Structure 1
């Protein structure tokens, strides 16, 4: 693999996982010459523990606010970065790519955007416990160790699931779940993505065991995104669940993303 140019890479976490879960990715991409960062969402604490203690700071944080937060961070960088996002973070990463804030994108098990019609037939009980309670729209919610393993980390052992839950799980705002879930019936949905504008390369990952954003949902998004003339690729990992960015198999995704970027990312201003 050729050594990439010194391009910024911004990692965006999804619901219920702290940005510190990207630490192995930061080390990997830093070693390959990228300038890396993993800023938290507005309202996140510096650590998972701090976020759990002050969960009210995440109340009523929606997709547009979080996207604007990352856009502001990106505007301070020397050039448009690659954005790598997971779950709702993958949706936000695609929004940033479509509006010109990113030079390339890796969307891992990305939540559905407006226009994606293939949705899970049966949502996990943990998700129904949120979207089935309208009052949680402006509040936060949290996985338990049981729901985390059942819906988020079902593709790994309970022992590993419990370790990830203890190390990285944080409360999550309910609003993005409602926004993504109702995107197709809302005229001005914050979960809309510009898939037609000129953009950089996009790599999407889907997990065959994913119960939170099933493979079929990611494939539906990919069918829309591949209409864009830019490079768009889909990688399906049949034996992986939703926690694939943080579990023992994360390196397979990291190496695949590096290879994709090395082969498809165009040179930016001042790069050689």
Structure 2
């Protein structure tokens, strides 16, 4: 196994939220000598308040597809001076797994990750959280904007109401229903038997939308014995893990994991 030598990190955000949620992580890793990038998703390089005001029937976000997003981040990474470490949250964690399969990263960290196709959960919290975003009985020609109530259940469960509202205002953006449905398609396919760069899964015990058990099932799918695949579950962490006051728990664990493999 090749050691991790890269000093470049690319952070990949998930669906429903702005890329600005990586600010703490970016500052943390820059202080430890890494060059960090947190690019927005395609069509989402604007303030969340501005994006929420877009006409849901007339904007580019509604047509965004998962494969298009793979290509977007692949092009971004290939333009960098060195192969990076990639760290992704939620849908960003799925993108990390796909990009690792393509040999585009020195290592990957998937935080509370959406799983590739073939890894499912039948937990009620998972099904309830995704029913609205999938919009199975609604048009895909309209973006999905998570309501405050959905945000409270799927992302910020356990926080005080005022904290939930503040987090909503600072983070929530419209999403493509097409892209969410693509997470259940061949665009989300990973070959679990293939060799890959070191990969760490981080999960949270109170995550409703991406339960820890689902992340563990994803981790156990990887079968290549010559590749490093690790798993860590943190107690009391919901899906808003990047914005919690305890965000440094996961950041420090990730840094230690990178150093052990360097």
TM-score, reference length from structure 1: 0.87
CA distance in structure 2 between the aligned counterparts of 1:245 and 1:113, rounded to whole angstroms:
21
Question: Are residues 1:151 and 2:154 paired?
Answer: yes
Choose which of 244, 250, 255 in structure 2 pairs with 1:253: 250
How many Å apart are 1:229 and its aligned residue?
2.1
- What secondary structure is seen at the aligned counterpart in 1 of 2:220? helix
Distance 1:61 1:119, change over 3 A: farther
Question: Are residues 1:101 and 2:104 paired?
Answer: yes
Distance 1:101 1:132, change over 3 A: same
- What secondary structure is seen at the aligned counterpart in 1 of 2:243? coil
How many Å apart are 1:207 and its aligned residue?
1.1
How many Å apart are 1:45 and its aligned residue?
2.5
Partner of 1:192: 189
CA distance in structure 2 between the aligned counterparts of 1:21 and 1:145, rounded to whole angstroms:
18
Q: Please tell me whether the aligned partners of residues 49 and 169 of structure 2 are also in contact (alpha carbons under 8 angstroms).
A: no
Question: Are residues 1:164 and 2:167 paired?
Answer: yes
Partner of 2:15: 15
Q: Please tell me whether the aligned partners of residues 135 and 177 of structure 2 are also in contact (alpha carbons under 8 angstroms).
A: no
**Residue by residue, what CA displacement relative to the aligned partner does 1:165-189 show, whole Å, maximum 9, x if unpaired?**
1111111111232122x34xxxxx1
Please list every run of 5 or more consecutive structure 2 residues that lacks an aligned counterpart in the other structure: none
- What secondary structure is seen at the aligned counterpart in 2 of 1:166? helix
Question: Are residues 1:133 and 2:103 paired?
Answer: no
Partner of 1:44: 44
Partner of 1:270: none
CA distance in structure 1 between the aligned counterparts of 2:110 and 2:96, rounded to whole angstroms:
7
How many Å apart are 1:132 and its aligned residue?
4.2
- What secondary structure is seen at the aligned counterpart in 2 of 1:137? coil
**Residue by residue, what CA displacement relative to the aligned partner does 1:99-152 show, whole Å, maximum 9, x if unpaired?**
111110010011121221444345454521232434443431111222101111
Distance 1:57 1:220, change over 3 A: same
Aligned residue pairs, count: 256
Partner of 1:240: 237
Q: Please tell me whether the aligned partners of residues 52 and 145 of structure 2 are also in contact (alpha carbons under 8 angstroms).
A: no
- What secondary structure is seen at the aligned counterpart in 1 of 2:15? coil
Question: Are residues 1:220 and 2:217 paired?
Answer: yes
Please list every run of 5 or more consecutive structure 1 residues that lacks an aligned counterpart in the other structure: 184-188, 266-272
Partner of 2:61: 58
Cα root mean square deviation, aligned: 1.9
- What secondary structure is seen at the aligned counterpart in 2 of 1:248? coil
